[in-house]
Amino acid sequence: MTQIKFLLGLLFAYAAYYTVIIIRDKKRQKQVTAKAGEDTAVKDEVPPFQPLPQMERKMDNLLIHDTVVRSLFAYDNGDHKQMVHVRFDAQTVDLLNKFKMATGTDITKFVAFAVKYLFESNPELKNIIKLYLQNTKL
């Protein structure tokens, strides 16, 4: 359980860092164009995050994009009907809410993607589950 928390925290930190880098880069571009004498002025509000063009490839049935954030935006959870109640500590919830405000990504989509990514990138977890089910007597 501690490894899962660590991996989710690492994923959240990476996503937040990448978002901050993009927002900072957009502000710098606006400042440069404003200094160049164009009509644009630097606004205080941050425009909504627009995902970058999809650069994807498949490797062992795992869809890989250039970044995890692109994979998150490409992930479709529209057909997911089952619900699981999860609990997070206050810091994680705060980070999730800030990520939602920064990118416009729904938290349920983020969590569903993170769990799927965890299982696809660590196939040994599936093997542990299979072995447990084989050794359990019903």
Bridge partner residues of 64 (DSSP): 57
Is the four-CA dihedral 62, 66, 69, 75 of positive or negative sign?
Answer: negative
CA nearest to 40, candidates 24, 55, 27, 54: 27
Residue 90 has pLDDT above 90, yes or no: yes
pLDDT over 70 percentage in the chain: 73
What are the tokens at 56? 């994807």
Per-residue model confidence as pLDDT tens digits over 62-77: 555 557 777 788 888 8
Contact partners, residue 47, CB within 8 Å, separation at least 6 = 26
Task: State how far the Cα of 32 lies from the Cα of 40, in Å rounded to an integer.
Answer: 10
HSE, CB side, 13 Å, CA atoms: give it for residue 66.
Answer: 6
Confidence of residue 117 (pLDDT cuts 50, 70, 90): confident
Task: State how far the Cα of 99 lies from the Cα of 16, in Å rounded to an integer.
Answer: 6
Distance of CA 49 to the CA centre of its chain: 13
Per-residue model confidence as pLDDT tens digits over 7-22: 777 777 777 777 777 8
Q: What is the mean pLDDT of the chain?
A: 76
Q: What does the pLDDT average to over 78-102?
A: 90
Residue 132 has pLDDT above 50, yes or no: yes
8 A C-beta contact, residue 31 and residue 42: yes
Q: What does the pLDDT average to over 34-38?
A: 61
